[in-house]
Amino acid sequence: MKGNLSLGTTELMQLGENNPTTQITMEGNLSLGTTEMLANMTTACDDYSCDYTIDFEATPCSMSDIKKHVQIFVPVIYLFVCVFGLIGNSLVIVTYAFYKKSKSMTDVYLVNLAIADLFFVLTLPFNAVYRASQWVFTEIPCKLVRGIYGINFYSSMLMLALISIDRYIAIVQATRSFKMRAATLAYSRYICIAVWIFASMISVPDFVFSSVYMHDLDNRTVCEPKYPMGFGSQLKLLTLGMQITIGFCIPLWIIITCYSFIINTLHQAQNFQRHKAVRVVIAVVLVFLLCQVPYNIILLNEAINFFEDTCSTKKFNTMAYYITQCLAFFHCCLNPVLYAFIGVKFRNYFIKIMQDLWCLSKKYMTVRRSSRMSSEVFSSRRTSEVLDVDNPSSFTM
């Protein structure tokens, strides 16, 4: 295309030597045509929410080598996270529903965190199929999966921040929290409702703009946001900004601040269990940092270099995006361990659940076995009665 533009400019210059008026007019038309062409290409990118840099000398950036790796390892990790996240978070919900009464704000937040993580991992099988090939479902599942994904992503991160605040109040402000325990338990439910409403509001664009369409560059059916013409780049940057700010920076600041005060208070306390408590706090912070920081660095880099990515940079960022995203998703499996099962009481409840399930299975097997034996006895009696009816002489000597 660049060669054609140069040839046209050379011909115009030669023509303009004899007719200056024609030169001005035709150069103006060339500039106008080029401007319109660029505008149309930019509009198409906005319409399909693509972020490819327009380069007349380069061929389209092929992601075929990246997709081969993504189609293999990403679905496997998604399903792994789904299975273990489903088991862990379901156990937390069952424990609070049937065994442990919610007596503190932390209990209320843990239940809501488990619910958020549970719904989050339930979207992963759909995304696993999507990453393995293409989007094979209709548009309604597309909107629901992306919308539920967004709601539970934001609510999960905000619940982690709320748990940090509650632990800060319970440990650093112990006297005040003891006096306000009954009131704070009621407040915690209203706070959770507010978090769910807020997460739903900022996830509305996922429900509205998510669409199923054939991507021109990938030549496959995708489930991605399709923003209004002319606003694709701006809305995508806004979404990235909200995800980094609300889904990472604010929770990170709250977690580090609260746990810093908690560690300082525990160091001053004369308690033989303080070292264990400090280790738990450090583990919570380190796991959060290891899981979330790499992923959000990639998102931040994507936002900064949104309009300047070369093909090699785009390939690196795409591969790094999926690797760090899978690492971030592991947090859903680790939350039940870090926030629930690490406590002695919760482990006892877990053992009780396993015992009850074992007793239930044994009872079911016993009932089924007795039912089978009863049916066999009934069948044998019925058979003997039929035989007796058929042979009445058997009743006589």
Average pLDDT over every residue of 222-237: 83
* Residue 395 belongs to a domain: no
**Long-range CB contacts (within 8 A, 24+) of 72-78:** 73/326, 74/128, 74/131, 74/132, 74/322, 74/326, 75/128, 75/129, 75/131, 75/132, 77/326, 77/329, 78/124, 78/125, 78/127, 78/128, 78/131, 78/326, 78/329
Tell me the mean pLDDT in the region 278-291: 85
Is residue 27, in this structure, part of any structural domain at all?
Answer: no
Q: For residue 149, what are its two tokens?
A: 């994904």
Of 16-20, 22-26, 144-148, 184-188, the poorest mean pLDDT is in 22-26
Nearest alpha carbon to residue 281 among 300, 267, 271, 292: 267
Q: Is residue 174 part of a domain?
A: yes
Task: Residue 119: give its domain's CATH number.
Answer: 1.20.1070.10
Per-residue pLDDT tens over the stretch 350-359: 788 888 777 7
pLDDT of residue 22 exceeding 50 = no
Count of domains for the chain:
1
- Does 191 map to a domain? yes
- Whether 157 is covered by a domain: the verdict is yes
Task: Tell me: pLDDT of 25 over 70.
Answer: no
Euclidean distance between CA atoms 3 and 288, whole angstroms: 53
Q: Mean pLDDT across the stretch 311-331?
A: 88
Average pLDDT over the chain reads: 76
> Is 10 part of a structural domain of the chain?
no
* C-alpha separations of 180 from 7, 175, 185, 194 in Å: 80, 9, 9, 20
Could you tell me the two tokens for 235?
Answer: 């809305």
Tell me: the pLDDT tens digits for 48-72? 334 433 343 445 676 777 788 888 8
In a domain, 381, yes or no: no
The verdict on residue 390 lying in a domain is no
Q: Which domain holds residue 308?
A: 67-353
What is the model's pTM?
A: 0.72
